[in-house]
Amino acid sequence: MVKVALLRVEDYDYQKVEDAIRRGLALLDIGEDFFRGKEVLLKPNLLAPAPVEKPVCSHPSVVRGMARVAQEGGGKVGVGDSPGLGSVQRVARACGLTPLLQELGVPLLSFEDKVEKKFPEGGICKAFPLTSLLEEKEVLVNLARLKTHNLTRYTGAVKNLYGCIPGHQKGAYHLRFNQVENFHKMLGDLLGLVRPPLSLVDGIVSMEGPGPRRGNPRSTGFLVMSRDAVAADVMACRLVGINPEEVLHLKHAGEMEFGVTKYQEIELVGDPEEELRVQGFQQSQGSGAPTGIIPPFLANLMRDLFIFLPRVIPDQCKACGVCVESCPAEVITMDKEVARIDTKNCIRCYCCQELCPHEAIVLERSFTLKGILKRR
CA nearest 192: which of 252, 109, 275?
Answer: 252
Segment near ligand SF4 (CB under 6 A); pick from 64-72, 86-94, 277-285, 320-328: 320-328
Closer to ligand SF4 at the Cβ: 52 or 347? 347
CB of 172 to ligand SF4, least distance (A): 12
Among 358, 365, 374, 375, binds ligand SF4 (CB under 6 A): 358
Q: Are strands 76-81 and 39-44 parallel, antiparallel or unpaired?
A: parallel
Contact 156, 236 (CB under 8 A): yes
Segment near ligand SF4 (CB under 6 A); pick from 107-115, 122-130, 185-193, 357-365: 357-365
3-state secondary structure at position 315 = helix
- Residue 306 to residue 322: CA distance in whole angstroms: 27
Segment near ligand SF4 (CB under 6 A); pick from 48-56, 77-85, 279-287, 343-351: 343-351
Segment near ligand SF4 (CB under 6 A); pick from 141-149, 237-245, 297-305, 317-325: 317-325
Segment near ligand SF4 (CB under 6 A); pick from 49-57, 63-71, 248-256, 349-357: 349-357
Closer to ligand SF4 at the Cβ: 261 or 326? 326
Instruction: Tell which positions 322-341 bind ligand SF4, by CB under 6 A.
Output: 322-323, 327, 329, 331-332, 339, 341
CB of 232 to ligand SF4, least distance (A): 28
Among 321, 335, 365, 375, binds ligand SF4 (CB under 6 A): 321
- Residue 203 to residue 135: CA distance in whole angstroms: 29
CB of 262 to ligand SF4, least distance (A): 34
Contact 215, 53 (CB under 8 A): no
HEC string for 180-201: HHHHHHHHHHHHHHHCCCEEEE
- Residue 20 to residue 11: CA distance in whole angstroms: 11
Closer to ligand SF4 at the Cβ: 230 or 356? 356
Among 75, 125, 351, 366, binds ligand SF4 (CB under 6 A): 351
3-state secondary structure at position 28 = coil
- Burial readout 132-163 (b: 16 or more C-beta within 10 A, e: otherwise): ebbeebebbbbbbbbbbbbbbbbbbbbbbbbb
Q: Are strands 39-44 and 139-149 parallel, antiparallel or unpaired?
A: parallel
Instruction: Tell which positions 281-310 bind ligand SF4, by CB under 6 A.
Output: 310
Q: Considering the rule CB under 6 A, would residue 350 count as an interface residue with ligand SF4?
A: yes
3-state secondary structure at position 282 = coil
> Which residue ranges make up the site for ligand SF4 (CB under 6 A)?
310, 312, 317-323, 327, 329, 331-332, 339, 341, 346-352, 356, 358, 360-361
